[in-house]
Structure 1
Amino acid sequence: MQHRFTKAPVLAVLIAMGLLTSAAVQAGMYRYTDENGRLVISNTIPQAATKRGYEIISDSGRVIETIAPAPTAEELAARAAAEERRKQQAAQMEQDRLLLKRFSHPDQAVRAMHRKIQELEGLIALKRGNISVLTSQLDNEQRRAAEMERAGRSIPEATLKKIYRLEGQVRDIEREIAAQRQEIDAVAKRFISDIERLEDITGSERTLPLDDSDASHSQ
């Protein structure tokens, strides 16, 4: 019994192979400019020439694809700078959005700054009160120690330890006050920056003074 084979599948395979072969031939031709500026058509392309850009052409000379030149160092730097500007602009927009959620007018930020500074100043005042108490105790202990020395008596170890402890506590609180003074300066700078930005993005100018000494009149 003879098997009959239809020609359609065979033709389809041959056609497909022909198309693949044609595409391979077309994709294997390149047109580029060499290092001397001359136009070259070849089935291969040097690595150096790819950086200058080239075209993939068919055997009939039709351009199949155009490959752009590799960007120069200056172009890459310009792209990086543009991307950095875009990121900065996006970050600024997000900061502005969050700032406007907190304050709708520069005066609101001024009042908030005054409240925060007054709060920190209040903590400093409490610490200065603690220093006054400790200093009073220290004066008493030092006076007693001096009286013992004048009387020719040795100062008890417990008294000396107490004097050293009180002196250390005073120094610690003074360092805390100095740190809070720096914090007040940092808070003021941040708020002033926010206030100036609010004036820019809202188009409204503050009407309240930045000086905290006048804050009681602006509440």
Structure 2
Amino acid sequence: MRPTKLTTCLLAATCLLVTSLADARMYRYKDDNGQMVISNTVPQEASTRGYEILNSQGRVVDRVDPAPTEEELQQRAEEERRQQEAAEQRERDKALLRRYRHPDDAVRALHRKIDELEGLNQLKQGNISVIESQLDSEQSKAADLERSGRDIPESTLDKIDRLEQQIRELEAEINAQNREMEKIRESYVEDIERLEVITEQDRTLPLDPDAARESR
């Protein structure tokens, strides 16, 4: 028999209903009073506590975890920060080991750097001594002129001012370099101490270059 139009429509509707029932999803969650509820929707306030998704046979097919608490979020952020710091420390350690194989290698590098900077300071101090000698000469000439009642030439006064300014600038450079030297020393000491940890070897050389020279 040829199916009628009505029969065809009924069959289609039946198939659609069966498919809808097979695909039906229910949700199981706890309400505000802690009671278990099964529904075809999940209220917003209940969704944050987590829920289960059931199929048409009432079996659990998926679970949605509760939203993390503020404390849990802080713990996660703290753990991520620790992991990031650990990763950065590993990279710094790798770079350090590429430069030095033993803490004494870093100590020797520190000695060379300090010797270099101290040599520059000594050079500048020698320049100051030369300029101070020139300044004493110019100031003596100016004093002799004053005692004799004569005017001090403008060129002499300018030269005195210029020499004094040069001394101040060199002294400022020495002071700045001393501060930089201390920062460098602290940085090297930090590297040396870290090398002792990651290589499991202690330094055998003194940190002070003068003490190292005396021990030779």
Which of the five TM-score ranges fits, normalised by the shorter chain? 0.7 to 0.9
Is the CA contact (8 Å cut-off) linking 2:27 and 2:41 kept in structure 1?
Answer: yes
> Quick one: distance in 2 between partners of 1:170 and 1:179?
14
2:3 match: none
Q: CA deviation at 1:214?
A: 2.6
> What is the SS of the residue equivalent to 1:181?
helix
In the superposition, relative to structure 1, how do residues 62 and 137 fare at CA in structure 2: closer, same or farther (>3 Å)?
same
What corresponds to 2:20 in structure 1? 21
Does structure 1 residue 112 correspond to structure 2 residue 109? yes
Instruction: Work out whether residues 32 and 54 of structure 1, in 8 Å CA contact, stay in contact via their aligned partners in 2.
Output: yes
> Could you tell me which of 5, 30, 49 is aligned with 1:52?
49
SS of the equivalent of 2:157 reads: helix
Structure 1 residue 72, shift from structure 2 partner = 0.6
Which blocks of at least 5 consecutive residues in structure 1 are unaligned?
1-10
Unaligned runs of at least 5 residues, structure 2? 1-10
Aligned to 1:185: 182
TM-score, normalised by the number of residues in structure 1: 0.86
The reply on whether 1:41 has 2:38 as its aligned counterpart is yes
For 1:173, which of 170, 181, 204 is the aligned residue?
170
- The CA RMSD over aligned residues, in Å, is 2.2
Q: What secondary structure does 2:205 align onto?
A: coil
- Which of 66, 78, 83 aligns to 2:80? It is 83
Shift of 1:23: 6.1
- Distance, in Å, in 2 between the alignment partners of 1:155 and 1:204 is 68
Q: 1 CA distance for matches of 2:212 and 2:124?
A: 22
SS of 2:24's partner is: helix
Q: d(CA) in 1 for partners of 2:98 and 2:32?
A: 59
- 1:127 matched to 2:151? The reply is no
Contact 1:53 1:68 in 2 (8 A): yes
Which residue number corresponds to residue 155 of structure 1? 152
Instruction: Give the corresponding residue for 2:6.
Output: none
- Do the aligned partners of 1:51 and 1:69 also contact (CA within 8 Å) in 2? yes
Runs of 4+ in 1 over 4 A off after TM superposition: 17-20
Letter in 1 for 2:148: A
Identity among equivalent positions (%) equals 55
Q: Which moved more, 1:66-75 or 1:138-147?
A: 138-147
Please report the TM-score for the alignment, with normalisation by the length of structure 2. 0.87
Q: Which amino acid aligns with 1:177?
A: I
